[in-house]
Amino acid sequence: MKRQVFNPYLPSYEYIPDGEPRVFGGRLYIYGSHDRFNGDVYCQNDYVCWSAPEDDLSDWRYEGVIFKKTQDPRNADGSHALWAPDVCEGLDGKYYLYYCLDFLKEIGVAVADRPEGPYEFLDFVRWPDGRILGTGDDTRQFDPGIFIDDDERIYLFSGNSPRYIDDPNRDKNSQKMELERDMITIKSAPVENLPIVTAAPGTEYAEHPFFEASSVRKINGKYYFIYSSTWMHELCWAVAESPLGDYHFGGVLVSNSDIGANGNEEALNYRGNTHGSVAKVNGKWYVFYHRQTNRHFFSRQACAEEIYFDGERFHQAEVTSCGMNGGPLLDLGTYEARIACHLYSKNGTTESLSEQQDEHHPAFTQEGEDRECDPNQYIQNMRDGATAGYRYFQFNQATQISVTTRGTGDGFMVIRDARIDGNIVGKIKVEPSSSWATWAAPLQIEQGKYPLYFTYEGDGYVDFTSFTLS
């Protein structure tokens, strides 16, 4: 690769959650919804697309806006937001984008001649009599996932089942159906897929009930259904012998709080929803998900991890800073603090909500406005005991480490080579500064693959923008 790859893997100003990875013509495309920095609701921006060549996942290209919210005929004033989409290559060689508008009940379809668009509105998914799915007494559609099998049969998945909404009038469902070759018309009526939250107790899904984020992949002749559980922070998988068959729970793919990875039971990031899927890229399997930033649910960023698939089962991936890099990061150079894969306060984490992740907690944030190129994204408000963790580095030659901070902090940045019982490998004195200032100390670490955990110990607070190994 031309350069190293980090998490998040897109530029610091880009906020794309719900990433659906698709490989077309030797390129990996990411289709997701589009948050706004410091937004106040989900998905306030239009759909954009990014892509990279399969053989260089460091070389991401911005494909531009591919579909505007106002292109939907129900939304001329732009008052509704575009939620999580999916894209497939149709049997006619064109590309079809399936989406929903926030709390509206229908599934829209747009079409393009190229995977990167631009996409033009085509129609809504409809019953054979022409009535739009989601109207009348139909249940609300949500997070459509599209899948075309090798036999050219076309399947659509949809559903949403939040655990925290008890309104009996709120639709909760997990559905699957078959479409006609026109990509629009329902061929077989929607049927139940996974148990929703109220039906999961006593089933194999009791600990990981279906929430949303339907996505299907065919692997070695079996069908893998990817979804977000009602705990929100985790992506799970289930497997069936046919697209409309009975899916049996498989396990967890990834948790954006790293819960469950390597036996860990503690949330090591600020929790919130996640959404994504898996893709095999240049011979390797990756799981795509998103993280929370800015003390709320509405500025989420795309991440990915290499994941082990043994031919039948996926094994949960741990969250890292090196993601799709193909191995640990070099022990020389400057790294942005924003690539921390773990972030927590002295007292742990909360959900990523401003009323919970308050002034006692650190957070990822940025300077500048939404989509300003190269704003300074950083970790704000590290107070006594706050920790930022980075996995992994290959240490061979670094002998010094420096941090760049600002704020009222008067204390030390203590660096360890493990989260639990790690050796102190560096201790850097930091002092109050209203502008960014750099502080350095010797680094004493053995050769090998290690993480780095930076814990601020002292008075006041520090904002943390980068560190350098030399």
Which of the residues 46, 72, 116, 212 is marked catalytic?
Answer: 212
Torsion of CA 8, 13, 16, 21, to 10 degrees: -50
pTM greater than the 0.85 cutoff: yes
Which band of pLDDT confidence, cut at 50, 70 and 90, is reported for residue 374? confident
Query: What is the CB neighbour count within 10 angstroms for residue 418?
Result: 14
The confidence score (pLDDT) of residue 84 equals 98
Q: What is the pLDDT of residues 151-188, one digit of tens each?
A: 999 999 999 998 776 665 567 899 999 999 999 999 99
The confidence score (pLDDT) of residue 354 equals 85
Which band of pLDDT confidence, cut at 50, 70 and 90, is reported for residue 141? very high
Which of the residues 14, 18, 305, 417 is marked catalytic?
Answer: 18
Q: What is the pLDDT of residues 219-271, one digit of tens each?
A: 999 999 999 999 999 999 999 999 999 999 999 999 999 999 999 999 999 99
Closest by CA to 313, choosing from 249, 408, 256, 231, is: 249
Q: What percent of the chain has pLDDT over 70?
A: 99
Tell me whether residue 18 is one of the annotated catalytic residues.
Answer: yes
Which band of pLDDT confidence, cut at 50, 70 and 90, is reported for residue 373? confident
Residue 313 has pLDDT above 90, yes or no: yes
* Alpha-carbon span 214 to 65, nearest angstrom: 24
Supply 150's token pair. 């090798």
Which band of pLDDT confidence, cut at 50, 70 and 90, is reported for residue 1? confident
Supply 447's token pair. 């050769």
Cβ-Cβ contacts under 8 Å for 294 (sequence gap 6 or more): 37, 38, 363, 364, 365, 366
Average of per-residue pLDDT values in the chain: 96
The confidence score (pLDDT) of residue 168 equals 59
Tell me whether residue 137 is one of the annotated catalytic residues.
Answer: no
Torsion 427-430-435-440 (CA) sign: negative
Give me the domains of the chain, ranges plus CATH numbers.
20-325 (2.115.10.20), 330-469 (2.60.120.260)
The confidence score (pLDDT) of residue 167 equals 63
Q: What is the pLDDT of residues 388-418, one digit of tens each?
A: 999 999 999 999 999 999 999 999 999 999 9
Q: What is the pLDDT of residues 5-26, one digit of tens each?
A: 999 999 999 999 999 999 999 9
The confidence score (pLDDT) of residue 171 equals 77
**Per DSSP, which regions of 230-295 are E strands?**
234-240, 248-255, 277-281, 284-293
The confidence score (pLDDT) of residue 163 equals 79
Q: What is the pLDDT of residues 276-312, one digit of tens each?
A: 999 999 999 999 999 999 999 999 999 999 999 999 9
Q: What is the pLDDT of residues 174-233, one digit of tens each?
A: 999 999 999 999 999 999 999 998 899 999 999 999 999 999 999 999 999 999 999 999
Pairing, β 387-395 against β 329-330: parallel
Which band of pLDDT confidence, cut at 50, 70 and 90, is reported for residue 28? very high
The confidence score (pLDDT) of residue 466 equals 98
Residue 67 has pLDDT above 70, yes or no: yes
